[in-house]
Structure 1
Amino acid sequence: MKQLTFENYQKQTSFTELCGHRIAHWQSLNFNKDENKDVILFIHGFPSAAWDWHFQWKHLAGQYRLLSVDLLGFGLSDKPTKHQYSLLEQADIVQALLRKKGVKQYHILAHDYGDSVAQELLSRQDDIHSAAQILSICFLNGGLFASHHRPLFTQKLLKGRLGGLASHFMNKANLARGFNKIFAANSQPNTHEIDTLWQLIEHNNGKKVLPKLLSYIDERNQHGKRWVQSMVSTVVPLYFINGVHDPISGQHMLDHYIDIIPNAKTTALDVGHYPQLEAPQDVLNLYRDFLTEVIE
């Protein structure tokens, strides 16, 4: 499978001032032409970027209008060092991008940190009548329920008092070791994936902001009850594709999702924390089938 290079990812980028920050985003070539086609918004996880979706993007681009974004502090977007990062602000940025693009209705495909942004957007669905309406949400592995999220030791270290020091000494070898733990044994990350993800983290001096981005763990505890209530009560179709060998949010998160969400639609995959990279074709096929059901 040919993967998108960091250089080509940069070349395809657009930048827009959103909520006071320079935010990197992408749209499919047909975005402004085929207004009769449904819009899909991709929301990435921590600590990576919209690059994660390159395989699914390539194969969905002809059938749908696609939009993705590097959230504040990630990828090619601004990474202010003296900033209090918040999932709520990330949701504001997403909504600002949707308004700028004139999107009235859209589907969400989200992963990890992006799951929490999607949950916040869903909770706002009935509160902000002028906002674009969510047509469906597909979650990949992430901390949908704060009580069942199991952060790695590295994440705990970065989030703690020594976070600044830990981030200073973080390097590509550390990243590789961490990703080897969260990918399944039979779907380990390749050199190109680690190299690209490391370039995305380092870009704009991004290592410095990693500790501050990890405030999302506290926000999940703070807003989790409201988010889960929205998921339980919503009429928006929800789907959870879960890599069950993920130590952070694998089988245990899937089991709890099935217990909590009425008529839960789920699929278990024999991979780890990054299904879109570990089993890209499976995720593409499953998501296409889900969209077909929702749209019909």
Structure 2
Amino acid sequence: MTAEDWKQKGKFINVFGNTVFVIDEGNTEETLVILHGYPTSSYDYYKVLPALAKKYRVIIHDHLGFGFSDKPQEYSYSLIEQADVALQLWKQLGLTKVTLLAHDYGTSVCTEILARHNRKQIDLQIDNLILCNGSMHIELSQLRTIQKLLKSKLTGKWVAKLTNYSIFKKNLRNVYFDKTQATEAELKEIWLQLEYNNGRKVIHLLSNYINERYFFWHRWIGALKETQIPTKIVWAKNDPVAVFAIAQLLATEIPNNKLLPLENTGHFPMLENPYEWLELVLV
């Protein structure tokens, strides 16, 4: 599926004055909301959406700064704000009861939502939680060199300007276990969405989420330790960034969880190994 095909499947919704791209498919009673990863978009789920939509009404939006959503240059791109946007979007869609799935960057948006949920600050019932390959325990994460450069206030802006498709392709392919699964056609479609709306001008701002993971560590890890929501930890074991040790540690901290490892798979399991990933998510 091309990026343009994906765009045609979705719709645009105004949230707090910015336009957010949203996929909304399936019409069953259960709703699944998905928070996608970095530096990609809701497109990560194009292979698994048909199967997910048989069980759920599936709602996936592009975070601000990502995919087809607005990418304002005068914006902080805090994970706190991304949580604000997600919650407001779901409210505008009339959601009151959901299963929440989060991957990578999305897991930190998720933990901010959990912190508020634990304190009864939001009017949303979260029945189940599914966490996939995210470096919530940032101290265990094996950050790529480009991530370190982009998150720096000194180098971020310049690295973003110099980033091109070749650099992007190499870095994304390197987080796959089976590199052949990161096809040229698919990588080009992902790159097109990154560039959409002058996306390269904000990618260094988006990268500050790594710093926030350190700053809000106690709030967000604390939220996971406190939550009573039944949680599935669906984790690709060969992720070179969000390493399996993070999943193992989370399994000792989250009160009501089940750890479901995925063999021979890297950082984007829903793209690299969609069928086995689906089996664990839908089990």
Regarding TM over 0.5, the answer is yes
Does residue 59 (structure 1) correspond to residue 51 (structure 2)? The answer is: yes
Does residue 275 (structure 1) correspond to residue 269 (structure 2)? The answer is: yes
Output aligned runs, 1:1-296, within 5 Å.
Answer: 4-30=1-27, 34=28, 37-160=29-152, 161-185=154-178, 188-262=181-255, 264-269=257-262, 270-289=264-283
TM-score by length of 2: 0.94
Asked whether the 8 Å contact 1:19–1:92 carries over to 2, the reply is no
- Structure 1 counterpart of 2:277, one-letter code: V
TM-score by length of 1: 0.90
Deviation at 1:61, TM superposition (A): 1.2
- Structure 2 counterpart of 1:196, one-letter code: E
* Structure 1: 5+ residue stretches without partners: 290-296
Asked whether the 8 Å contact 1:98–1:132 carries over to 2, the reply is no
- Equivalent pairs counted in the alignment come to 281
CA distance in 1, matches of 2:35, 2:181: 22
CA distance in 2, matches of 1:262, 1:178: 35
- Structure 1 counterpart of 2:90, one-letter code: L
CA distance in 2, matches of 1:147, 1:131: 32
CA distance in 2, matches of 1:260, 1:130: 23
Deviation at 1:18, TM superposition (A): 0.6
- Higher mean C-alpha displacement, 92-101 vs 144-153: 144-153
Secondary structure in 1 aligned to 2:174?
helix
Asked whether the 8 Å contact 1:95–1:131 carries over to 2, the reply is no
Secondary structure in 2 aligned to 1:121?
helix
Deviation at 1:21, TM superposition (A): 1.0
- Structure 2 counterpart of 1:8, one-letter code: D
Secondary structure in 2 aligned to 1:131?
coil
Asked whether the 8 Å contact 1:106–1:136 carries over to 2, the reply is yes
Deviation at 1:101, TM superposition (A): 0.9
Secondary structure in 2 aligned to 1:207?
helix
What is the identity percentage for the equivalent residue pairs of Structure 1 and Structure 2? 31
- Structure 2 counterpart of 1:95, one-letter code: L
- Structure 2 counterpart of 1:177, one-letter code: K
- Structure 2 counterpart of 1:266, one-letter code: L
RMSD: 1.5
Asked whether the 8 Å contact 2:233–2:251 carries over to 1, the reply is no
Asked whether the 8 Å contact 2:2–2:189 carries over to 1, the reply is yes
Deviation at 1:13, TM superposition (A): 2.2
- Structure 2 counterpart of 1:274, one-letter code: F
What residue number does 1:294 align with? none
